[in-house]
Structure 1
Amino acid sequence: MKTKPLAFWVAAAIALIAQPNAYAISAKYAQQLERSGCTQISEGQGCDIRKTKAENAKAGFVNDAAAPAPKASPAAAKPYAGQWLAKSDSGATVATIRIDAKEHVWVNGKPVKAKRSDGGLAFKSGTISFRIQGDRRLQGEDGWTDSGAGTKGQIVSE
């Protein structure tokens, strides 16, 4: 029985390695991703490859690798800093909130622990939970909830 020379096995190994991967995307799918501005990851999150980049951007899907980084204004860098008022539906002040540039929070003059959560800053004082949205373009999403009294309301910048 003849054995194959080592050179044959080396050539076979190189040929196997040089084979295209079975999981590579097709040219048509790559074109759809390019046209839509989606990535494989963002498509799994709802980005629609049948739409244009502009339509997907309007829906909130932006390919950060392809888009130039926006210049952040000083206010955007510190969206929470300042004085805030938690208001009831009747307009009465429920709490006064102060947040410094390092995101230290005081509710009615008392320090409370705060953490970033789901695009906002969340903190609690007693039975009242507060949440301030980080994206200042979104209006009406800053609010509070009192789990003890079952009430809620808006938080407004002072």
Structure 2
Amino acid sequence: MFRQTAIALTLTLLGSAQVHAINAKYAEQLERSGCTQVTEAQGCDIHKTKAENAKAGFGAAAPAADSGLNMSYAQKLERSGCTQVSELSGCDINKTQAENAAAGFGAAPAAASTSPYAGNWVATFPETGATVANIRIDDQDQVWVNDKQVSARKSDGALVFKEGMVTYTIQGDRRLKGEDGWVDNDAGTKGPIAAK
């Protein structure tokens, strides 16, 4: 019984000894350099100062004299209009807010329309490129097909409208390519719609 207790006590002590794996000197180097164990593995040098590592892109932002090339992550998010979630979806923190808005992330620039459908569109035959219809959509999603106003409805992120036997669909998410199109239910033909 004494032997089992001694073995259990030894194993317990060995298991708890690993909790204090970082020694005091190493912890001081991390503090002085502005590095963490993770950033050190990524190239942060624990033998340099916080300022030197900041210039290399680790830790706090670089001084203003560097023209913002080494901005902190939070500053890049602010400048780009991205969030951590939208960055995972493709928003580029190294681009401006206007560039990301044009790519469909964040708020659109002030001069841009509030509707993703607004603008002039042309429906064409895929084989010949001949025009099927000229489409105009305003900021309130009112639609004109060949200068005739038609009613429109939103369905699953797309604006859908009909003129005669032809049904037109324009996607609201401009990142989706090749999904704007028309279908003539009478003739059984279909084709693309492109922005002018």
Q: TM-score, normalised by structure 2?
A: 0.44
| Structure 2 equivalent of residue 71 of structure 1 | 106
The SS at the match of 2:183 is strand
* Rounded Cα–Cα distance in structure 2 between residues aligned with 1:127 and 1:148: 6
Larger relative strand fraction: 1
Residue identity matched to 2:108: S
Structure-2 residue corresponding to 1:137: 175
Q: Which runs of 4+ in 1 moved over 2 A?
A: 74-77
Determine the structure 2 residue equivalent to 1:86.
123
Structure 2 unaligned regions, length at least 5: 1-84, 90-104
**AA partner of residue 107 (structure 2):** A
Structure index of larger Rg? 2
Whichever residue aligns with residue 71 of structure 1, its letter is G
Which whole-Å CA distance do the structure 1 matches of 2:106 and 2:182 have between them?
Answer: 31
Bigger drift between 73-82 and 91-100 goes to 73-82
- How many Å separate the matches in 2 of 1:98 and 1:76? 13
Q: TM-score, normalised by structure 1?
A: 0.55
CA deviation string 1:63-103 (max 9, x = no partner): xxxxxxx6211447311111000010110000000000010
Q: Is the 8 A contact 2:113 2:139 kept in 1?
A: no
**Larger relative contact order (CA 8 Å, sep ≥ 6):** 1
Which of 90, 94, 99 lines up with 2:137 in the alignment? 99
Residue in 1 aligned with 2:38?
none
Which has the larger share of helix? 2
Where does 1:8-23 land on structure 2 (aligned, <5 Å)? none
User: How many residue pairs are counted as aligned between the two chains?
Assistant: 93
- Give me the CA root mean square deviation: 1.9
Q: 2:132 corresponds to which letter in structure 1?
A: V
